[in-house]
Amino acid sequence: MITGKGEYLRRLTSRMPIRSMELGKELDGSTPPSVFIGSWNYPKVYAGPMISPYHGDTSFMDLPESWIPQRASTRDIVKFRLDLVRGKQEVSITDLDNKLVEKLREISLASGSIESEV
């Protein structure tokens, strides 16, 4: 029996040449820049950055329009997506002065990858 999302992902990728990455409670790396804003439990939703454990230019990981010209394979695309980790914190949609919301705004408006820690 699968007991959580982590176990499900490990089991799903166990037969694939691309493995799910083991992570602890903290992560530092670059965000593509990409953010996640959920809809569940509206008007309090989960929001956070999508972070790669790699440093440097990770913008290609969340830029689907570049995958075809770069001739990215299905395997490459799956790896890009599996390498992104979603940070999350519950925020109210009306709390625009929240420190996390301000950071997510900066990330989403960035022209390139941003070094991040969660």
Nearest Cα neighbor of 47 from 62, 39, 37 is 37
pLDDT in tens, 40-96: 999 999 999 999 989 999 999 988 999 999 999 988 898 888 888 888 899 999 999
Residue 61 resides in a domain: yes
What pLDDT shows up at residue 2? 65
Using an 8 Å Cβ cutoff, are 107 and 71 in contact?
A: no
Nearest Cα neighbor of 88 from 78, 101, 106, 97 is 101
Instruction: Name the residue range of residue 110's domain.
Output: 28-117
Residue 5 resides in a domain: no
For 105, other C-beta atoms within 10 Å of its C-beta total 12
DSSP sequence for 51-96: EBSS-S--GGGG-HHHHTTTT--HHHHHHHHHT-EE--EEEETT-T
The pTM assigned to this predicted structure is 0.73
Residue 9 resides in a domain: no
User: Looking at the 3D structure of the chain, how many domains does it have?
Assistant: 1
Residues 6+ apart with CB under 8 A from 69: none
